[in-house]
Amino acid sequence: MSHPRTTSQDKDAALMRSVMNGDAETAKEMLDKGANARVKDKNGLTALMWAAGNGHADIVRALLEAGAEIGEKSDIGKTALMYAAQSGHTAIGMGLLVAGARADVCDENGRTASDLAARNGHADSVQLLK
């Protein structure tokens, strides 16, 4: 019995689903099988942005190790660091900064990651980003 071939689009879709669901094991498996670490959803959010914004540090690390672009911007000009900051995921923000993320980048409304953190009441993230 032959099995249908898994396409790169299938792997990318499975990666994005696992990232959105916080399923680190499946995300790492898909990356190991060749899924694109820079995959985006229909709104221009990368897997890294989803992982950072939802607090999935292990997935963030796996995506970075697999070649995710740390400075990529979504369709509204936000970076993974901005998504982490606005959600109060300070440890992930620190990891992204160490990995080379820039805190001085602005979104389409001129807001930085620090501005987004402050707007949502995440004082620890604001302190980190100053």
- State residue 12 phi and psi, 5-degree precision: -65, -40
The model's pLDDT over 26-81, given as tens digits with 9 standing for 90+, comes to: 999 999 999 999 999 988 999 999 999 999 999 999 999 999 999 999 999 999 99
Cα–Cα distance, 92 to 58 (Å, whole number): 9
Q: What is the pTM of this model?
A: 0.93
Q: What is the pLDDT of residue 94?
A: 96
Return mean pLDDT, the chain.
94
Binned at pLDDT 50, 70 and 90, residue 1 comes out as very low
* 102 has a pLDDT exceeding 50: yes
Is CATH 1.25.40.20 what the domain over 8-129 is classified as, yes or no? yes
Q: In the chain, what percentage of residues exceed pLDDT 70?
A: 95
DSSP class of 2: P
Binned at pLDDT 50, 70 and 90, residue 5 comes out as low
Q: Which run of H or E residues covers position 50?
A: helix 47-53
* 3 has a pLDDT exceeding 60: no
